[in-house]
Structure 1
Amino acid sequence: MPSSPPHSLPRNARERQLIAQEAARLIAESGIHDLEHARRKAAARLGIASEALWPRLGEIEQALREHQLLFASGSQPGALHERRESAAQAMQFLQAFQPRLAGAVLSGLATGDSPVILHLHCDDPDAVQRFLHEQRIPAEARTWSLRLAGHSSKQHYPGCEFAADGIAFELVVLPEDALRQPPVSTDDGKPLPRATLTQLRQLLAQEQR
């Protein structure tokens, strides 16, 4: 059910919804893929500095679902399916690194420019780059900031990004301990949703029903 009109809500709830809707618009229209970055930019645009008035990331996801239903119902499902298929192929290719799918491709919010985000697990941070080089896959090194379960703050983790068949991939290399202590949300400390290749294939099978 669509959210209530902002003007009909109490002030705090109204500001949270305005930020969520602006963040959803930024993600849909401005090529921003990170929910936290979209939330912060939306709040700045609206002049709402107090983080106590900001929406949870789940509220932004809901606003994005509503935005896609209104403006992208014809194209979004196809883009999502294409990225899930590509993610499955990549996870099979990278199976030695115990990949987990994360982000919008897993949540179902991916659009035509969303990257496939894969968490790989290896205690040798350079192993993935070497593997891609051996396979003659050009990739650009990057780092990501994530907080793992059991840690009090974010840490920087290496990885790389590349494109294949017009789809962007982001590979984040985490230590093997992250299989038991996975990345957590900065909002509530709960583990971020992630999927194995088997779970992704189950999602793809459900899409065919």
Structure 2
Amino acid sequence: MESGGSRHRCQDQRRRLAYESARILAEQGPTEFDRARRKAAARLGITDKRCWPDNAEINDALLEQQQLFEPDEHARSLADLRRHALSAMREFADFRPRLIGPALRGTATHEHGIELRLFADSPEEVLMALMDRRIPWQEGEAVQRYASGSVETCPVFAFVAGDIPVHLQVLPWQARRQPPLDPVSERPERGIDADELAALLADGGESEAVTAAF
């Protein structure tokens, strides 16, 4: 049976790991939770995985650090990202885009950019839209986990708009009903559409983390 002292020590280690992981994420990108957690654990010498924080705890620590150390700068940066996201969503409206990821959760920076999820019969349709707009892109892929337990990859087309990286995930239309899991909440990541984002900006919620959509 775990003693009270052991539980307290484990909770303290979780907090320390969460904040160290958040610090690493702030430097390297807000989506690599597992890599940051493992790196933080190695730095702090905490090997008992029962005392490791989950993604939600790390995300909360990251939000807390950003709001504590650079609240005004981060709020302005986040608002700018969301305005750029809205512009991109309107540009690619035919693909029913939804804002997902750190720009929606409230932890993104300009360097990390924005993530949009687009839906199409085939990725080539999005490629044609990029070509029509003469937007140079780089192609990659993202691993997606689903509530059913399946793991799939989807293409990602990345480009820079002004100085902001934009990442377009392309999923089939049926994924609108059963979207992949959010890495933080472990629930289907539905994101928000352009109208919802416009309402968020109009309401002055630029600096708020959005959780209701997950």
Whether the TM-score (by the shorter chain) exceeds 0.5 is: yes
Q: Does 1:34 align with 2:31?
A: yes
> Which stretch of the first structure deviates more once superposed, 133-142 or 180-189?
180-189
CA RMSD of aligned residues (A): 2.0
Q: Report what 1:124 is aligned to.
A: 122
| Post-superposition CA distance 1:115-161 (Å, at most 9, x none) | 100011113022212210121000000100011333x1321111211
Distance 1:153 1:13, change over 3 A: farther
**2:17–2:44: 8 Å Cα contact kept in structure 1?**
yes
SS of the counterpart of 1:126? helix
The SS at the match of 2:170 is strand
* Distance across 2 between alignment mates of 1:159 and 1:118: 10
Cα 1:13–1:153 shift into 2, 3 Å: farther
Aligned residue runs from structure 1 range 174-185, under 5 A: 174-185=171-182
For 2:108, the equivalent position in structure 1 comes to 110
Pick aligned residue for 1:205 from 185, 190, 202: 202
Structure with the bigger RCO (C-alpha within 8 Å, sep 6+) is 2
Q: Give the Cα separation in 1 of the matches to 2:13 and 2:58.
A: 13
Change (3 A) 1:123 1:103: same
2:162 to 157, 161, 165: 165
Paired letter, 1:59: E
Query: Secondary structure, in 3 states, of the residue corresponding to 2:108?
Result: coil
Which of 64, 77, 80 is 1:79 aligned to? 77
Normalization by structure 2: what TM-score? Answer: 0.85
Contact 2:144 2:151 in 1 (8 A): yes
Q: How far apart are 1:67 and its partner, in Å?
A: 0.7
- Per-residue deviation at 1:41? 2.8
For 1:195, the equivalent position in structure 2 comes to 192
Structure 2: tracts of 5 or more residues without a match = 1-6, 207-214
TM-score (norm 1): 0.87
> Match of 1:60?
58
- What is the CA–CA distance in structure 2 between the aligned matches of 1:50 and 1:171, rounded to whole Å? 37
Contact 1:26-1:42 within 8 A present in 2 as well: yes
Identity of counterpart residues, as a percentage? Answer: 36
CA contact (8 A) 1:35 1:57 kept: no
CA distance, structure 1, for counterparts of residue 116 and residue 135 of structure 2: 16
Report the more deviating stretch, 77-86 or 124-133: 124-133
Tell me: CA distance 1:122–1:208, structure 2 relative to 1, closer, same or farther (3 Å).
closer
Residue in structure 1 matched with residue 212 of structure 2 by the alignment:
none
Aligned residues: 199
Which 5+ residue runs of structure 1 have no aligned equivalent? 1-8
Name segments (4+ residues, structure 1) moved above 6 Å.
Answer: none
